[in-house]
């Protein structure tokens, strides 16, 4: 019984330290954004990056943990985005329709059906790495690749980070749609 209590106390302490480190990391990156004149009102976290969005100023800021670097983008410079798993694009703004068109071009009507079907996977795939790619209107930097996670993450953390990527994709869809209507 004593060993069990010691184990539980150690586990709780370790979890608390992990949460404190994570919160400190996010706070330091938000402070780095503020130091560069950016105040996010939405924050999305990936493995080595924090992405801040400010809807009021129409800006996006990417803070890199390892390099302590900040990349700022105006919303109107973002033209597209995609989520990549294991190096392959699995979610792009064009979605199922684009896959059906490609399948139809390559293999006719049956290919269109097969192409559309590839946009949803059945079962649980093993995802080793994932990236979020943002395409810009900047000729010198036409795209940015943001690591969502690599193979060194636990599956539950991978799921959380992929959910964050989907949230980011949903928010960028709104941003791009609003910019198109301006």
- Please indicate, yes or no, if residue 100 is contained in any of the structural domains: yes
Residue that wins the pLDDT comparison between 57 and 99: 57
Q: Are residues 136 and 51 in the same domain?
A: yes
Q: Residue 176 is part of a domain; what is its CATH number?
A: 2.30.29.30
Q: Is the pLDDT of residue 120 over 80?
A: no
CA-CA distances (angstroms) from residue 65 to 24, 82, 110, 170? Answer: 12, 22, 46, 24
Range of the domain at 111: 96-126
- Please indicate, yes or no, if residue 91 is contained in any of the structural domains: no
Q: Are residues 26 and 51 in the same domain?
A: yes
- Assess contact for 76 and 63: CB atoms under 8 A: no
Q: Are residues 132 and 102 in the same domain?
A: no
Model-level pTM greater than 0.85? no
pLDDT confidence of residue 37: 78
- 126-142 pLDDT, tens per residue? 889 999 999 999 999 89
Q: Are residues 147 and 172 in the same domain?
A: yes
Q: Are residues 22 and 76 in the same domain?
A: yes
* pLDDT band (50, 70, 90) for residue 6: low
Total domains present in the chain? 2
Identify the CA nearest to 74 among candidates 176, 177, 147, 145. Answer: 176
Q: Are residues 174 and 110 in the same domain?
A: no
Q: Are residues 37 and 118 in the same domain?
A: no
């Amino acid at each position: 019984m004593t060993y069990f209590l010691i184990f539980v106390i150690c586990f709780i302490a370790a979890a608390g330290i992990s949460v404190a480190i994570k919160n400190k990391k996010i706070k330091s990156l938000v402070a780095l954004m503020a130091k560069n004149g950016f105040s996010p009102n939405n924050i999305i976290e990936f493995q080595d990056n924090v992405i801040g969005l400010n809807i009021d100023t129409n800006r996006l800021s990417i803070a890199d943990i390892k390099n302590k670097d900040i990349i700022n983008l105006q919303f109107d410079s973002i033209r597209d985005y995609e989520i990549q798993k294991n190096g392959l694009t699995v979610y792009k703004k064009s979605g199922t329709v684009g896959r059906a068109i490609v399948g139809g071009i390559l293999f006719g009507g049956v290919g269109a059906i097969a192409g559309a079907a590839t946009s949803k996977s059945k079962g649980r795939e093993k995802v080793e790495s994932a990236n979020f790619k943002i395409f810009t209107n900047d000729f010198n930097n036409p795209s940015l690749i943001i690591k969502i996670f690599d193979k060194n993450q636990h599956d539950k953390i991978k799921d959380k980070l992929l959910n964050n990527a989907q949230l980011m994709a949903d928010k960028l869809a709104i941003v791009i749609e609003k910019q198109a209507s301006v």
